[in-house]
Amino acid sequence: MPSTINTNLNSLTAQRNSSKSQNDLTTAINRL
């Protein structure tokens, strides 16, 4: 059970980081 929860948390963290990177990229392109 704990390992499943841990995997879910890691996956959520990865999704957040990925969406933040996408937003930063969009912002950078918009500034150009």
Look at residue 26 in the predicted model and tell me its pLDDT: 92
Look at residue 10 in the predicted model and tell me its pLDDT: 85
Look at residue 7 in the predicted model and tell me its pLDDT: 86
Domain ranges of the chain: 1-32
| Segment 1-32, tens digit of pLDDT | 577 878 888 888 889 988 999 999 999 999 88
Separation of alpha carbons 14 and 24, rounded Å = 15
Look at residue 24 in the predicted model and tell me its pLDDT: 92
Residues 6+ apart with CB under 8 A from 10: none
